Structure 1
Amino acid sequence: MITLNDYLYSGDTIFRILQNYMDDLRKEAKKNRNEIDMIHCNFLLQIRELLAHNDFLTAQSQQIREFYKYMAREYPFLAFTFRGRIKSLIRAEEKFNSYIVEDIYNYYEKNGSYPPIAELKQRLGCFRDLIAYRIVISMPKCHYEDEAEREAAEIHCLYDIANILPGFLEERGFTAEPANGVQESTSHLMDETIRPYYRDYISNHGPYEYQSLHITFYDNSSRSYMEVQLRTKAMDDVAEIGPANHLGYEKRQENEMSRRELIPVGENRYFDEAYERGMRLLNLELSKLDVNMFSAENNSLINDGCGLYRGRLILPYEHLSRFQNDLID
């Protein structure tokens, strides 16, 4: 079985590693008539296209920047940041394999049999966040004496921005993708017309206190999907350094990947291969990798100059409120 790990010690660039892994995986998939590995190759092809032909990101980021400029005009007293990233190769590979393990395990647990290949393939075709942008807003405390009023104003601004964003970007060549009922908003602050496009983790927040608004767009010029997340700073703190932070997410993902006891080894090759690939990635010792433009002292001290592990930053913008900017008239 071919795994990404086998290519991470060659000293090659991330692009060459990805190309070699994809080429060899495709050959093996054709030889073994493995339909899931063919889907896997198509998934890797999307990542390769982002790395090899990413000129469109400049144009795409410029359109996102137009919304940044709009917000600076319309919300002068609001502080906010815009960030953008391409998902890292390791994170993307982990996620692809975890979807396979999760779907097969859950289906088997419920039905005592394995899911049809067509159903599994459909699930694996739903990746929409290889490119993602995040808008984080904050209403500075100097604008409100009462904290409850400040928080209410902040939430109101967040939903107001969410209501405007789809129409703004659709005028600039993007198409909002329906969320198909996933985490549909129950907030009275969200307009009925755009409600079907958002996954609202604020009015439907889960057990780890994660809160955010998510929407997916199709970029008609580059023919790629991108996700936009909208949060307040308090929500972003929970996601970055609080109960919903990525280390906690990784630990939960590791627990998901380690679910092995229900499905006997050798009974479902798709589960076995995805499980093995996922566990090997989770157990990587990053300091031993030999990838051009990447180095690590350990799994915490990482200098990821190629987007292998932490992703690639494509849009950093920050706007301070008028009070913070000392631009009070």
Structure 2
Amino acid sequence: MITLNDYLYDGDTIFRILQKYIDDLKKSAKENQNEIDRIHSHFLIQIRELLEHNDFLTAQSQKIREFYKYMAKEYPYLAFTFKGRIKSLIRAEEKFNSYVMEYIYEYYSEHQVYPPVSELKKKLSCFRDLIAYRIVISMPKCHFKSEQERRDAELNCLYEIANVLPEFLEERGFTAEPANGVQESCSSLLNPEVKPYYRDYVSNHEENEYQSLHITFYDNSSRSYMEVQLRTKMMDDVAEIGAANHRVYEKKQEKERRKRNQIPKGECLYFDEAYERGMRLLELDLSKLDVNMFSAVDNRLINDGCGLYRGRLILPYEHLSRFQNDLID
């Protein structure tokens, strides 16, 4: 079985690693009549094209920047950041394999038979967050008498921005995708006409305290999907360095993935291969990898300039509030 891990120790660039992995998956798919390996290779081609940062990403980020300028004008006392990132190769590989496992596991648990390959192929065509933008807002404390007052103002502002965003981007060539009832908002602050498009992890609290508003758009000019996340600074801190950060999330996922009792080994090739690939990725010692432009002291201190682990940054903007600018003057 071919895994991404097999290519991470030869000192190649990330693009050579991807090309070798794609070519070998295609060859294996043809030799073994493995439809999932074929879809897997096509998925990796998407990642490679994104990491190459084609012209459409520049055009797309410039359209997103228009919303940045709108916010700077409409909310002069609000501090905020805009960031855009392409999903990293390792995270994308993890997600592809987890989709394979989760769908087979759920289908088998319900029907006691394995899903047809045609159904599994449909499931693997639903990646919508390979490109993700994040807007993080913060109200300066000096404007409020209490911390609760500030948090309430930030939350009102967050939903106000969420109400405006879909129409703003649709006027610039994007189409909002329905959330199909996933994490449907129960907040009265979100307008009824935009509510069907948002996955609301703010009004629907997660067990790990994760909070954010998510919405997916289709970019009609580049024919690609992108996700936009809206958060306050406090929400972002919890997600990035608090209880909901990725390391905690990954540990939880690791425990779940090891629970494969319902799928007997050797009965479903697609599950077995996806499970093995996922486990090998989770066990990576990043400090021992040899990937051009990537270095890691250990699995916590990571410097990634190539899109292998943290993804590739495509949009960094920071806006200070008028109050903060006044201090600088």
Q: Return the TM-score normalized by structure 1.
A: 0.96
Tell me by how many angstroms 1:327 deviates: 6.7
Q: What are structure 2's unaligned runs of at least 5 residues?
A: none
Q: CA contact under 8 A between 2:51 and 2:307: conserved in structure 1?
A: no
How far did residue 328 of structure 1 move?
10
Q: Give the aligned partner of residue 137 of structure 1.
A: 137
Taking a change above 3 Å as real, the CA distance of residues 136 and 278 of structure 1, as seen in their structure-2 partners, is same
Cα pair distance change 1:94/1:142, threshold 3 Å: same
| TM alignment of 1:1-329, pairs within 5 A | 1-52=1-52, 54-326=54-326
What CA distance in whole angstroms lies between the structure 1 residues aligned with 2:232 and 2:51?
Answer: 31
AA aligned opposite 1:242: G
Structure-2 separation of matches of 1:262 and 1:181:
28
Instruction: Give the drift of 1:40.
Output: 1.0
Partners of 1:301 and 1:4 lie apart in 2 by 22
Structure 1 runs of 4+ aligned residues shifted over 3 Å read: none
CA-to-partner distance for each residue in 1:172-219, whole Å, 9 max, x for gaps? 111111111111111111111111111111111221111110001111
Task: Please give the alpha-carbon distance, in whole angstroms, between the structure 2 residues aligned to 1:109 and 1:93.
Answer: 24
Counterpart AA for 1:137: I
In structure 2, C-alpha distance between the alignment counterparts of 1:113 and 1:248, rounded to whole Å: 33
More displaced stretch, 116-125 vs 185-194: 116-125
Higher mean C-alpha displacement, 222-231 vs 297-306: 297-306
Greater Cα shift, 140-149 or 187-196? 140-149
Matches of 2:149 and 2:302, distance apart in 1: 41
Q: Offset at 1:53? A: 5.2
Which residue identity does 1:236 align to in structure 2? D
Residues 205-244 of structure 1: per-residue CA shift (max 9 Å, x gap): 2211111100011111111111000001111111111111
Q: Percent identity?
A: 78
Aligned residues: 329
Q: Give secondary structure in 2 for the equivalent of 1:175.
A: strand
| Contact 1:87–1:130 (Cα < 8 Å) also in 2 | yes
Query: In 2, are the aligned partners of 1:98 and 1:256 still within 8 Å (CA)?
Result: no
Deviates more, 1:251-260 or 1:76-85: 251-260
Q: Aligned partner of 2:80: which letter?
A: F
Give distance in 1, aligned partners of 2:219 and 2:176. 9
Q: Is the 8 A contact 1:102 1:256 kept in 2?
A: no
User: Secondary structure in 2 aligned to 1:118?
Assistant: helix
Equivalents in 2 of 1:241, 1:11: separation in Å? 31
Aligned with 2:325: secondary structure? coil
Distance 1:252 1:242 in 2: 14
CA RMSD, Structure 1 to Structure 2 (Å): 1.5
